[in-house]
Structure 1
Amino acid sequence: MSQKQGISAMIAISLIPLVMVLGNSMLVPVLPTMKAKLHLSQFQVSLIITMFSLAAGIIIPVVGYLSDRFGRKLVIVPSLIVYGIGGIISGLAAWLMDNSYSVILLGRIIQGLGAAGTSPIAMALIGDLYSGAQESKALGINESSNGFGKILSPIIGSSIALITWFAVFFTFPVLCFLLALFVWFGVKEKKKAQGKPLPEYLTALKKIFKQKGKWLIPAFFVGSTGLFILFGILFYLSDVLEAIFKVDGILKGSILAIPLMGMVVTSYITGAKIKQNKPLIRKVMISGLVLLTASMFAVAFFKQIHLMIGLITIGSIGTGLLLPCLNTLITGAVEKAERGMITSLYGSVRFLGVAFGPPLFSWLMKISHKTVFFSMAGLCILTLILAFFMIKPGKTKKGAAGEKERLTTLFKKRVPTN
């Protein structure tokens, strides 16, 4: 791959998680207006977000298999098109129908099905196209792009809603169709052998989890927990800013962006620095969890807005240290033939973590501020224990080969030849 092709591919791939995250985050500021216009209950409004995430979480393992069987681009591009079609269905229903809620919900489910084939498969594609330090850097950019999407989405959604509240639905197809073209023509996928038939494939996956499940399953849980806490805390902070401190609008969005920015910048730097150094990856991962645990415990004792934002930002930096490490370990855990399924399973678990964060935090908030953060500190301690004692991946075949090559080169340098 030439340098120009590599840059084009990296830009295209990094835009995939950004567009994916718009699916929920861009609608959040529009939900109160939607509730009033369509005369919905709070539960009905919540389904606009929940059904998208659940549809994606359920279907992700299927598209992961398809990407391993037939290729990444052949899954990503149609998925982006389906994602856009779902937006058109929801937008037209809101615009032209009187009782449009059920059709809007159907469009959101279709969007979720499309979203399933975007970011998780992009992670597997990175593993196919890049190796070593380039792979870690690309995964860090991928995670940062996801974070930038979270930062920009509420601002973009609020701006588009100034036209009309349902205009946001028509934004999805424009972005998705353009990105589908960019990925199709801008990413040159490496030629690969056709994937295994399903029975063989499932047997191979069973073997992977038998060999590596001892650390892969805890890694999935830790990654999901990191996003569960991140989105739950943002949900909590959003409510507190408006209900207690009377902060809303652009100022509120800017404050919420502070911890997210901490995560995004840290993710990018971490991805660029960790490379394939597994001892370093482990240290960085543990450090991130220690920061997250300490911040959750400390926030429990303070309700002053400046202290809360500062401490929560420290926790988000911990998440930014954690996620690129997990991404690198998980994408490098298996051979390319099964990588799509493994990263898709991980993506599915991440989606579910995001989906359950806000409702569970809502329940804890009814008890007390301390209950919220002591509960999260306890969960962080559990994940820290799991990470410390369970996530100890050995060398992958690729890593072992690289180490052998490094030692051979070192030996040749030290032993003179005739």
Structure 2
Amino acid sequence: MAEPIKNQQASTSIILTLSTIPLIMVLGNSMLIPVLPTMESELHITSFQVSLIITLFSVTAGVIIPLAGILSDRFGRKWVIVISLFIYGAGGLITGLAAIWNGGQYGWMLAGRILQGLGAAGTAPIAMALVSDLFRNHERSKVLGIIEASNGMGKVISPILGSLLALIAWYSLFFLFPIFCVVVAIAVSFFIHEPKNREKIPLSQYGKSLTQTWKRQGAWLLVAFLAGAVTLFILFGVLFYLSDFLEKRYGLNGVPKGLVLAIPLLAMSGISYFTGNHIKERTLLMKHLIVIGLIAIALGMGFVPLIHNTYLLLANLLIIGAGSGLVLPCLNILITSAVGSKERGMITSLYGSVRFLGVAMGPPVFSAMASHKWWLFFGNAVLAGGTALLCLWVLKQPEGIRGKGGQIRLYMRHSLHRSDPTLS
């Protein structure tokens, strides 16, 4: 069981350090988007080859995330994060050097991006598990809300930062990765003190424990994973749609377009922070907020084809962003608190992989369906609404344990407090 953090100054340093880690995952792809056309022309490659710069990073990270979770359960989260940061930074350095070496070495750039994806797998998902090891009850939900808000803010600033760095040189942004990763790795090494009494079990027993967890809690975990994937799939699909809309109708590119795209993401970040501060450990409230958030997303998607005014469209996208900000922090606290610390890294990492898949699938699906706008948006409205109904049915509040003031402690159908004693 993790020891609670009592020193306020130390706690602030830890929170600030942990909140920088999600930026690593976000910067990996989002910061490159503004320079992709330039990269294509400077390297004399096809659009498909440019897409591999993004895709190979994403695929590598998605595949390796569960392995990173297992390693964090076995050998500790702190050092998995630190080593991953150094791998991530090294990948960025290789990519940057390959970009300027002899007019650009595309093959080596791909190798660097694969290495970056390998490192990125051990960052944000492991940080979420580490938060649950270090903090209890209300502090846990608060910090996870900050982590989600930081993730959203990273998505806001990444395209803008990429556009600004491109003013120096299109490849300059690759050299930001090693600098940023080294700084964060040093901060993690210095400020984070992982609980030493976290239980470690033999590998065979670890597998058995995971199997028992899925037998006991698999149904609602799968629904929670689906809710996270659907939320991010729709959010990033809509952002892609808005990006194309702004470029074709208004000719917006670079920093101006990034500022407009920031509007729904700022709504998501602000609501994520607010939600994390107020949900505490009340499971019933979390379930209601997840359902409300998904319904807001469904309504927002359903109205998009009916809106022809740009300002109304942006207001509608604010609703979608706000709905996402209700859903994601609640899922974070439910999933990271669902199991004991000995297998938390693996479960959280599986959730991270599913989130990553949702983010990766949104833009291509919305691109492929762009000419069928009614089917696209009404179909996704049905998807979000159906997921809300599924959550309402599966995430049931049973005979809970009531805390002070009548608050219902985190206690799902299968007795979560037995998995994590810090919650009861």
TM-score, shorter chain, exceeding 0.5: yes
SS at match of 1:323: helix
Counterpart amino acid of residue 376 in structure 2: V
Q: Does 1:386 align with 2:386?
A: no
Q: Tell me, yes or no, if the aligned pair for 2:417 and 2:423 is still in contact at 8 Å.
A: no
Q: 1:78 to 1:356 in 2, by over 3 A?
A: same
Q: 1:396 to 1:348 in 2, by over 3 A?
A: same
What is the CA distance between 1:193 and its match in structure 2?
4.1
What is the CA distance between 1:386 and its match in structure 2?
1.7
Q: Cα deviation per residue 1:371-410 (whole Å; 9 max; x = unaligned)?
A: 2211211211221122111223334126996787xxxxxx
What's the counterpart of residue 197 of structure 1? 202
What's the counterpart of residue 328 of structure 2? 323
Give, in whole Å, the separation in 2 of the partners of 1:194 and 1:334. Answer: 13
Q: 1:130 to 1:193 in 2, by over 3 A?
A: closer
Give, in whole Å, the separation in 1 of the partners of 2:104 and 2:378. Answer: 44
Q: 1:140 aligns with which of 121, 141, 145?
A: 145
Give, in whole Å, the separation in 2 of the partners of 1:195 and 1:351. Answer: 28
Give, in whole Å, the separation in 2 of the partners of 1:399 and 1:95. Answer: 51
Q: Does 1:44 align with 2:44?
A: no
What's the counterpart of residue 218 of structure 1? 223
- Structure-to-structure mapping, 1:217-236, within 5 angstroms: 217-236=222-241
What's the counterpart of residue 5 of structure 1? 10
Counterpart amino acid of residue 342 in structure 2: A
What's the counterpart of residue 404 of structure 2? none
What's the counterpart of residue 75 of structure 1? 80
Give, in whole Å, the separation in 2 of the partners of 1:386 and 1:54. Answer: 28
Structure 1 range deviating more: 319-328 or 186-195: 186-195
Give, in whole Å, the separation in 2 of the partners of 1:121 and 1:342. Answer: 10
Q: Tell me, yes or no, if the aligned pair for 2:145 and 2:276 is still in contact at 8 Å.
A: yes
Counterpart amino acid of residue 322 in structure 2: I
What's the counterpart of residue 289 of structure 2? 284
Counterpart amino acid of residue 380 in structure 2: M
What's the counterpart of residue 31 of structure 1? 36
Q: Tell me, yes or no, if the aligned pair for 1:147 and 1:263 is still in contact at 8 Å.
A: yes
Paired residue total? 403
What's the counterpart of residue 129 of structure 1? 134
Structure 1 gap ranges (5+): 405-418
Q: Tell me, yes or no, if the aligned pair for 2:91 and 2:112 is still in contact at 8 Å.
A: yes
What's the counterpart of residue 63 of structure 2? 58
Structure 1 range deviating more: 380-389 or 311-320: 380-389
Q: Percent identity?
A: 50
SS at match of 1:21: helix
Q: Tell me, yes or no, if the aligned pair for 2:291 and 2:389 is still in contact at 8 Å.
A: no
Q: Cα deviation per residue 1:279-331 (whole Å; 9 max; x = unaligned)?
A: 11111111111111110001121232111111011011000000000001001
Structure 1 range deviating more: 209-218 or 385-394: 385-394
SS at match of 1:321: helix
Q: Cα deviation per residue 1:195-220 (whole Å; 9 max; x = unaligned)?
A: 22332211111110100001001111
Counterpart amino acid of residue 385 in structure 2: I
Tell me how large the CA RMSD over aligned residues is: 1.5
Q: Tell me, yes or no, if the aligned pair for 1:9 and 1:188 is still in contact at 8 Å.
A: no
Q: Cα deviation per residue 1:70-116 (whole Å; 9 max; x = unaligned)?
A: 11111000000000000011000001134511211111111011000
Q: Tell me, yes or no, if the aligned pair for 2:34 and 2:159 is still in contact at 8 Å.
A: yes
Give, in whole Å, the separation in 1 of the partners of 2:119 and 2:82. Answer: 10
What's the counterpart of residue 357 of structure 1? 362
Q: Tell me, yes or no, if the aligned pair for 1:34 and 1:165 is still in contact at 8 Å.
A: yes
Give, in whole Å, the separation in 2 of the partners of 1:401 and 1:143. Answer: 24
Q: Cα deviation per residue 1:49-87 (whole Å; 9 max; x = unaligned)?
A: 111111111001111011011111110000000000000
What is the CA distance between 1:249 and its match in structure 2?
2.9
- With the length of structure 1 as denominator, give the TM-score of the two structures: 0.93
What is the CA distance between 1:369 and its match in structure 2?
2.3
Q: 1:304 to 1:368 in 2, by over 3 A?
A: farther
Give, in whole Å, the separation in 2 of the partners of 1:382 and 1:283. Answer: 15
Structure 1 range deviating more: 395-404 or 285-294: 395-404
What's the counterpart of residue 397 of structure 1? 417
Q: Does 1:372 align with 2:376?
A: yes
Structure 1 range deviating more: 20-29 or 38-47: 38-47
Q: Tell me, yes or no, if the aligned pair for 2:247 and 2:253 is still in contact at 8 Å.
A: yes
What is the CA distance between 1:248 and its match in structure 2?
2.2
Q: Tell me, yes or no, if the aligned pair for 1:5 and 1:187 is still in contact at 8 Å.
A: no
Structure 1 range deviating more: 244-253 or 53-62: 244-253
Q: Does 1:251 align with 2:285?
A: no
Give, in whole Å, the separation in 1 of the partners of 2:68 and 2:263. Answer: 34
Counterpart amino acid of residue 210 in structure 1: K
SS at match of 1:356: helix
What's the counterpart of residue 399 of structure 2? none
- With the length of structure 2 as denominator, give the TM-score of the two structures: 0.92
Structure 1 range deviating more: 235-244 or 36-45: 36-45
Q: 1:356 to 1:24 in 2, by over 3 A?
A: same
What's the counterpart of residue 100 of structure 2? 95
Give, in whole Å, the separation in 2 of the partners of 1:181 and 1:331. Answer: 25
Counterpart amino acid of residue 382 in structure 2: G
Q: Tell me, yes or no, if the aligned pair for 1:54 and 1:351 is still in contact at 8 Å.
A: no
Give, in whole Å, the separation in 2 of the partners of 1:312 and 1:232. Answer: 12
